[in-house]
Chains A and B, each alone.
Chain A
Amino acid sequence: MSRITREEVERVATLARLSLTGDEAARMTGQLDAILDYVALLQSVDTTGVEPTSHAVPLRTPLREDRAVPGLAPDLGLSNAPEREGTAFVVPRVLEGEEH
């Protein structure tokens, strides 16, 4: 029995903002299925009452003096913009399927 269907892979691709070609979707489905089959190994581990670890090292909150320091200059921050106008990043229209 497969653990993930092609439809599920396509749904996940939509969530991840990826579009897959037909070949890609088929190949990914097979590969992800094999990986999910392998990681199913974890289901045999008894983790009752075990706290999850999100970070191996206990994280503190380091504080610093509340003093203004220079950040990235706007021009430098915009220097890799695929398209810019003044101090703004230009993007295509936001709403799908509407005309200008």
Chain B
Amino acid sequence: MTAPLGTLSELRAQLDARKVSSRELVDAALARAAALEPVLHAFVGVQPERARADADAADARRARGETRSPLDGIPVAIKDNMVQAGEATTCGSRILAGFIAPYDATVVTRLRAAGAVIVGRTNLDEFAMGSSTENSAHGPSRNPWDPACTPGGSSGGSAAVVAAGVVPLALGSDTGGSIRQPASCTGIAGMKPTYGRVSRYGLVAFASSLDQIGTFTRTAADCATALAVLAGHDPHDSTSLPEPVPAWSKALTGDVSGLVIGLPREYFVEDGVDPAVLASVRESVAELERAGAKTREVSLPHTKYAIATYYLIAPAEASSNLARYDGVRYGHRAKGARDLGDMYRRSRSEGFGPEVKRRILLGTYVLSAGYYDAYYKKAQQVRTLLRRDFEAAFAGCDVILTPTAPETAFRLGEKAQDPLRMYLSDVYTVSANLAGIPGLSIPCGFSKGLPVGLQLLGKPLDEATLLRVADAYQRRTDWHARRPPEPA
């Protein structure tokens, strides 16, 4: 078995010191990916030829002293819902079987311009709808800490490959927690930036007012490095923010003295939370206090309505976005349809899996005549109240700290038959999407051998404070340095 790869900053230092070549790193990543695939089932596809050619080009640049960015020559993976010209994109769905993307997503363009080497595309719940990867048409991915457990979802494949040391960086997308919850389940750092920070051009749409691309890395410092490459306005995405991208790495001072951390009382209730998770998160608060941070209780009074709000708004937007899969221009087309309507119905019914159908039905229902005001409009109004909760709370603190998920990684199959129970996995994460604010999960302990995550939530556009707090914590603790056991 090829040894796990180091962090992004470790690999950068090795490349710069000429101790290793990009080609060697990419070969190692591909070898490790292949060796672990029977256990983790984390990749939908790998791109060895293209990756090796890109690595050789990166090595040639380095030899000429033309290294483009801290990511130049670094092997990375992307979630299989971001398009890449000439490569299959499935979104974990049968309806996109055989689809070859005709263009690059902006994040792919940016990664490539920075010299990063994409080695493969990772597994996800179908159209990013789920919290375990069990909704993937390719079958579930597994958690490197315990293959009987989920790596979380929907970006579970990306989380698993970073946790297992296949690549030091992978991209995910987060609509209700799909980066932060898997990061928590696998013991790594997962960042959902402010809505609009990273262009969504070429990210296959799930719920457009909530979707945001972000990163999986082992450390907060690596996250700062990678995010700087991805963020910034994109003329192809009118919702991408025009605000300048700060030099996040410079924000990592290690100093949190005087910083005020808000602890929302609604997130620290005993009900429905694993006590071991709460204990680890409380201990992380004590550690940050020892580092000089101040803490105070804050209130986010509408928290208990967040999941209900989310599961009205997200399916409503999804039912509209997924109307495009009709068998006409791309994707699966049913054979032998008697007319156009029959083709639509049969193509969609054959192509979509049960969770996607469930959400399309729910979304169509809540948008339909007679129910719109009672469900959809009501949810949008409560969304306003949730947003105001954060505005009020941030008037009295710099950052909010919570558990990322109510429990550690659960066993595959445990919730697969109960959609509502699965939805409650997102209880601590959906509010950030509804409010559009940034959120970062980092590991803060273990319970029965499985990682526990803490979540930092920030003011809009204030990823810098999240990264500074997370980095300061990681300088004082070693949870992020723990590695899952190597498979036998």
Q: Given the complex of chains A and B, what is the CA–CA distance between A50 and B235 in angstroms? A: 33
Instruction: Check A39–B312 contact: CB distance below 8 A.
Output: yes
Closest chain A residue to B308, Cβ basis: A39
| Interface of B, helix, strand, loop or mixed by DSSP | helix
Instruction: Check A93–B436 contact: CB distance below 8 A.
Output: no
A28-B358, A79-B102 known; A51 and B381 CB under 8 Å? Answer: yes
Q: Given the complex of chains A and B, what is the CA–CA distance between A79 and B311 in angstroms? A: 35
Within the complex, the shortest CB–CB distance from B419 to chain A, in Å, comes to 6
* Set of chain B residues within 8 Å of A9, measured between Cβ atoms: 361
Instruction: Check A89–B329 contact: CB distance below 8 A.
Output: yes
Give which listed residue, B309, B358, B387, contacts A31 with CB less than 8 A.
B358
* Set of chain B residues within 8 Å of A41, measured between Cβ atoms: 304-305, 308
* Set of chain B residues within 8 Å of A1, measured between Cβ atoms: none
Q: Please, what's the 1-or-0 string for B341-356, where 1 marks a CB less than 8 Å from any CB in chain A?
A: 1111110110010100
Closest chain B residue to A15, Cβ basis: B364
* Set of chain B residues within 8 Å of A80, measured between Cβ atoms: 98-100, 102, 329-331
Give which listed residue, B238, B328, B377, contacts A52 with CB less than 8 A.
B377
**Which of B173-181, B262-270, B288-296, B332-340 makes up part of the contact surface?**
B332-340
Q: Given the complex of chains A and B, what is the CA–CA distance between A92 and B305 in angstroms? A: 45
**B446 on the interface (CB 8 Å rule)?**
no
* Set of chain A residues within 8 Å of B115, measured between Cβ atoms: none
Q: Given the complex of chains A and B, what is the CA–CA distance between A80 and B338 in angstroms? A: 22
**B229 on the interface (CB 8 Å rule)?**
no
Instruction: Check B361–A56 contact: CB distance below 8 A.
Output: no
* Set of chain A residues within 8 Å of B340, measured between Cβ atoms: 91-94
Instruction: Check B209–A72 contact: CB distance below 8 A.
Output: no
Q: Which of A28, A41, A42 has most chain B Cβ within 10 Å?
A: A42
Q: Please, what's the 1-or-0 string for A1-30, where 1 marks a CB less than 8 Å from any CB in chain B?
A: 000100011001101111110001000100
Contact surface of B with A, Cβ cutoff 8 Å: 98-100, 102-103, 194-196, 209, 233, 235, 238-239, 241-242, 302, 304-305, 307-309, 311-312, 319, 323, 326-333, 337-346, 348-349, 352, 354, 357-358, 360-362, 364-365, 368, 374-375, 377-385, 387, 419-420, 423, 433-437, 460
Pairs across A and B, CB under 8 Å, 13 listed: A4-B365, A12-B365, A13-B361, A19-B349, A20-B349, A32-B358, A47-B382, A52-B381, A57-B239, A57-B436, A62-B242, A89-B328, A92-B338
Contact surface of A with B, Cβ cutoff 8 Å: 4, 8-9, 12-13, 15-20, 24, 28, 31-32, 34-36, 38-39, 41-43, 45, 47, 50-57, 59-62, 64, 72, 76-77, 79-83, 89, 91-98
